Structure 1
Amino acid sequence: MADYDVFELGDVVLQSGMTLRDAKLVYTTYGSLNRRRDNAILFPTFYGGQHMQNEPMIGAGMALDPAAYFIIVPNMFGNGLSSSPSNTPPPYDRARFPPVTLYDNVMCQHRLVTEQFGVERLALVTGFSMGAQQTFHWGALFPDMVERILPWCGSAKTSRHNFVFLEGVKTALTADDAWRGGWYDTPPTKGLRALARVYSGWVVSQAFYREQSYLQLGAASLEDFLVMQEGRRLNSDANNLLAMLWSWQQGDISANPLYNGDFEKALGAISAKAIVMPSQTDLYFPPEDNEWEVRHMPHAEFRPIPSIWGHMAGSPGVNPVDTAFIDSALKELLVS
């Protein structure tokens, strides 16, 4: 049996001007909504992840405890569960899947929260990486609805350097002859392996490799670690990865009719209590970017994760020490 539910969105007109027809938002929940409907937490997914990958942050005794909170995990468009290139019927399948922004994602999530559950206030929105980007969007787009946010290892706007890194990832994948412009009959495995190798040079820090921290993940050697990373991507659909990558590249909380590109205005509108948590060694979302953002947010604290695990410091459950650090901050914020 499926461990998720499907929210039928109907036809959704996207920021691009295209229509995502018969759109589906797949989600799962943990815990129960109380009578006052004020114990809801939204926890969006991250790049390449589905709701199952968020679960290490949810459990008894943790900040996101289903005994106390109603935790909603919406799957991002493009992740293979919600509407994606791999599960959308022709003519909008595969390479013809319409481009979806994080704004589009959040607006559809808002419909889920309000229409399906009747929730008017969220106690917390939180997330890792692209989940953090969605968290920032929630704070800016619905400031009167969101009480607290804790984005970790993500930014309110994708930097130029981050954009260029993703161009390298995209090029590695699409250089495979089997790619065929997205109309492949068999997976472009050479491209997926290349993507994983490029990603591995950025997802952790230089110190992570210097200190051979990959041995803690069960790898027997550096090459073994890289092959393990390849294995993670070989199970992914290439078009899905590129759809989410495009959403990542366009990430900007001000790129919408509410703020019309005024980034500082969008940051200033985030009235939620916030703890913004970059990894101090993240090469995708460096702490300097978040430090600047926090200076323009009225109720935000800048609190880096002291880790050599780079972006992977935020991966739910991967490094117990970093997971505990994030969980502790979540507990602190929820009682504030």
Structure 2
Amino acid sequence: MRRTRQRPQSPGGAAAAIDFQVARLGAVALQGGGVLDDARLAYKVFGRLQAGRPVVVYPTSFATHHTDLEWLIGPGKALDPERLAIVMINLFGSGLSSSPSNHDAGPQAFPKLTMHDNVHAQQRLMTEILGVRRIALVVGFSMGAQAAFHWGALYPDLVERIAPICGSARTSRHNFVFLEGVKAALTADPTFRDGVFNAKPTQGLRAMGRVYAGWGLSAAFYRDETYLTLGFRSLEDFLVRDWEARFSRRDGNDLLAMIWTWQHADISLTPAWKGDLTRALQAIAARALVMPSETDLYFSIEDSRSEAAAMPAATLLPIPTKWGHRVNVPAQNPADASFIDAALMAFLRPPQDPTG
């Protein structure tokens, strides 16, 4: 195993100005059978990894790179690199870590990867390559929140706290069906043949963005025409310049790989728990701050409430918002970003001694 500096290629082929490292894990056996050859994890470290400094793991989310989520890190914030070492890890399928778009054998040969596979690889990065023996916090949004739940369930002796934001320990049936609609819009593109895209699915990416727009934000957001306060001229302008553009920058095969991972996320699918979600949640010894959005349409607050109730040391803190799932876009939505930062700041403080 080794780590290297990496300058990725942009979709147009030119070197992109993104600073990160790549850990090469070799051939990795997968939860569902099979092997991911030459498995690679792209990551970025903020702050110094040194003895005595708390370490935070921050996995990315669906269709994002670490650069999309760095806003939560900075001086004076909960994730302050002057006090903490923060390791942002790009999920498999992101286009930076191992993905269909960079797979040596081509996208057709890229295997199905679960969230277990992601977190097992992340654990190897943290312990075997970076030498970390204790993790103060695992925090993530959406699929990153699913990763946080998996960290807590799979490595209870390693992780002190988890903070899943707008995510779940198991993808619900309703969430699964939502993703079927997204996938159907994407794969209706004429470039989709024999299970893969053989060219950029421009039409499919635009259609996917429009389907996602109805789920990603709440009815109240649209009723109040909040998009007009963000610099968009109309609803159509918002759909085109925000939602269509959001997914058009990504690779279609990578998105399909991540959708599959998302649909099959379930902390309980191990020999120890055999699909018993309650038992898997009860095994999470870490303190947990579970933060659903009150208006999230596919990671529902009801699911978060049920999962938090089964965990030994969980606090449920709903985010009061009309922004649905999109609580993590601070340029558009600074109020929710501030709420999340303040909650994490309080969560990272040492617990009060009741006898003191």
Equivalent residue number for residue 181 of structure 1 = 194
Structure with more relative contact order (C-alpha pairs < 8 Å, separation 6 or more): 1
Gaps of 5+ in 1: none
Alpha carbons 1:44, 1:74 under 8 Å: kept: yes
Partner of 2:257: 243
Cα root mean square deviation, aligned: 1.2
1:156 is matched with 169
Q: How high is the sequence identity, in percent, across the aligned residues?
A: 54
Q: State the AA in 2 paired with 1:19.
A: V
Taking structure 1 as reference, are residues 42 and 238 closer, same or farther at Cα in structure 2, changes over 3 Å only?
same
Q: Residue 53 of structure 1 is aligned with which of 45, 59, 68?
A: 68
Question: Are residue 143 (structure 1) and residue 156 (structure 2) matched?
Answer: yes
SS in structure 1 at match of 2:87: strand
Equivalent residue, structure 2, for 1:260:
274
Q: Is 1:331 equivalent to 2:331 in the alignment?
A: no
- Asked if 1 retains the 8 angstrom alpha-carbon contact of 2:72 and 2:79, the reply is yes
Amino acid corresponding to residue 11 of structure 1 in structure 2: A
Q: CA 1:14–1:121 in 2, change beyond 3 Å: closer, same or farther?
A: same
Matching residue of 1:168: 181
2 CA distance for matches of 1:48 and 1:316? 17
CA contact (8 A) 1:56 1:317 kept: no
Q: Does 1:134 align with 2:147?
A: yes
- Equivalent residue, structure 2, for 1:30: 46
Q: Which runs of 5 or more residues in structure 2 are unaligned? A: 1-6, 8-17, 351-356
* Partner Cα distance (1:317, 1:335) in 2: 27
**What letter is aligned with 2:171?**
T
Q: Which residue of 2 aligns with 1:207?
A: 220
Residues 197 and 252 in structure 2, CA contact (< 8 A), matched pair in contact too: no
- Rounded Cα–Cα distance in structure 2 between residues aligned with 1:186 and 1:242: 14
For 1:299 and 1:315, locate their aligned partners in 2 and report how far apart those are by CA, in whole Å.
29
Instruction: Give the C-alpha shift of residue 317 in structure 1.
Output: 5.1
AA matched with 1:10: G
Q: Is 1:103 aligned to 2:116, yes or no?
A: yes
Counterpart among 131, 134, 139 of residue 118 in structure 1: 131
CA distance in 1, matches of 2:45, 2:331: 19
Counterpart of 1:75 (choices 56, 73, 90) is 90
How far apart are the structure 2 equivalents of 1:282 and 1:183? Answer: 30
Tell me if 1:300 matches 2:314: yes
Structure 1 stretch displaced more, 261-270 or 183-192 = 183-192
Choose from 10, 14, 21 the match for 2:37.
21
Cα deviation for residue 146 of structure 1 reads 0.7
Give the distance between the partners of 1:44 and 1:315, measured in 2 at CA: 16
Aligned residues: 333
Distance in structure 1 (CA, Å) of the matches to 2:329 and 2:157? 29
Distance 1:117 1:176 in 2: 42
- Going from structure 1 to structure 2, the CA distance change for 1:41 and 1:317 (only over 3 Å counts) comes to farther
Task: Note the alpha carbon deviations across 1:163-199, whole angstroms, 9 max, x for none.
Answer: 0000000011111112223444421111111111000
